[in-house]
Amino acid sequence: MATGRRVEHTPDGRYVVIDGRRWRATDPLLPEDVAVQLRSELMSARRAVGQALRAGDAGAERAARGRVQAAKSALGERGTPWWEQSEDERRARWEAGLR
């Protein structure tokens, strides 16, 4: 991670710990090219949230937050934990996120 923050992983690999806070890790089964695309969409969606907030546009904010949710879910960071899904379910999750 290029933020300069210290990132640790839990022994089971399911979580990362950043600044003392635990977050669900990205699904390690994701191919790197897919992860790159989904992270790009996530960052774009986060920028859109900021733009909507600055503009005071509640509809645009709601839409942008939906994009954030979709990208985070596709990455395996939200929704059903990736370690509780079969490989086929995991693949279907990220393929849906690419659409």
Would 2 be classed as within a structural domain?
Answer: no
Burial zone of 49 (CB within 10 Å; 0-12 exposed, 13-18 middle, 19+ buried): middle
On whether the pTM is more than 0.85, the answer is: yes
Q: What DSSP character marks residue 6? A: -
Q: Is the pLDDT of residue 89 over 50?
A: yes
Residue 22, in any domain of the structure: no
Residue 1 confidence (pLDDT) above 50: no
Q: What is the pLDDT of residues 20-52, one digit of tens each?
A: 899 999 999 999 999 999 999 999 999 999 999
- Say which residues have a Cβ less than 8 Å from residue 77's Cβ, sequence separation at least 6: 23, 24, 25, 26
Number of structural domains (the chain) is 1
Report yes or no: 67 and 79 within 8 Å, Cβ to Cβ: no
Distance, in Å, from the CA atom of 29 to the CA atom of 92, rounded to the nearest integer, reads 12
Mean pLDDT value of segment 77-88: 97
Does 77 map to a domain?
yes
Of the candidates 87, 82, 70, 71, which has an alpha carbon nearest to the alpha carbon of residue 15? Answer: 82
Is residue 50 situated within a structural domain?
A: yes
DSSP labels, 52-69: HHHHT-HHHHHHHHHHHH
Residue 23 counted as domain residue: no
Domain encompassing residue 48:
29-98
Residue 4 within any structural domain of the chain: no
Where residue 3 falls among pLDDT bands split at 50, 70, 90?
A: low
Is residue 76 domain-resident?
A: yes
91 belongs to a structural domain: yes
